[in-house]
Amino acid sequence: MGVAEIAPLVAVLAAGSASRFGGGKLDAMLAGKPVGQWVLDAVVEAGLEPGMIVVPPRAPDFAQHSGWALLTNINASDGLGTSLSLAACAALGQGRPMLLLLADMPLVTASHIGQLLAGGELAATTYPDGKAGVPAFFPVDALDKLSLWTGEGGAGQFLNSKNGLLRIPAKEEMLVDVDRPVDIARAEEILKQRG
């Protein structure tokens, strides 16, 4: 886990409406298991303890059967920022840093998670366009502002405003997010190429 002395709270955001998918995307099957299960398995493979999943009032099946703690976001329809705020508040309440992941990004690898944690400092995934985003690691001193986050915006706006941010590059295929049914086929093809 690198120099981070306190194990991070792993927070997986899974409270979106999946409107572009037609609903239920996190329970859709991808290469034999639900889309949302893939990131949970990557966390365990990275040697981390299960954390919490931020869910809407009607939690996806994968989350209910995961064994992870569930944190219900009753304001999920108000935007991603409300889930981010809840997760940051939970980590602050435990006095722990936070590793933030999205449940609709099934191809994130355990090795990438390890790279984010290795320095024990604010770290984010660098996308091909050069912008920083999630998955990301937030030390405790970065959580106060996140705990007040609201609206549609996710963590990217916060991360891209930070000087000295540790940027961990990622291959484009790892960053596939499942927004539409066609993305399932794309993710399956990438998994086949991985072997």
Torsion of CA 153, 57, 135, 128, to 10 degrees: -50
Percent of the chain at pLDDT > 90 equals 76
Domain boundaries, given as residue ranges, for the chain: 9-194
Q: What is the pLDDT of residue 22?
A: 66
Q: What is the pLDDT of residue 77?
A: 86
What's the average model confidence in pLDDT over 131-150?
Answer: 93
Q: What is the pLDDT of residue 44?
A: 97
User: Does the domain spanning 9-194 belong to CATH 3.30.70.370?
Assistant: no
Cα dist from 90 to 52, 72, 94, 106, 146, whole Å:
9, 12, 6, 24, 11
Q: What is the pLDDT of residue 127?
A: 94
pTM for the whole thing? 0.93
Q: What is the pLDDT of residue 118?
A: 94
What's the average model confidence in pLDDT over 152-158?
Answer: 82
* Residue 100 bridge partners (DSSP): 11, 136
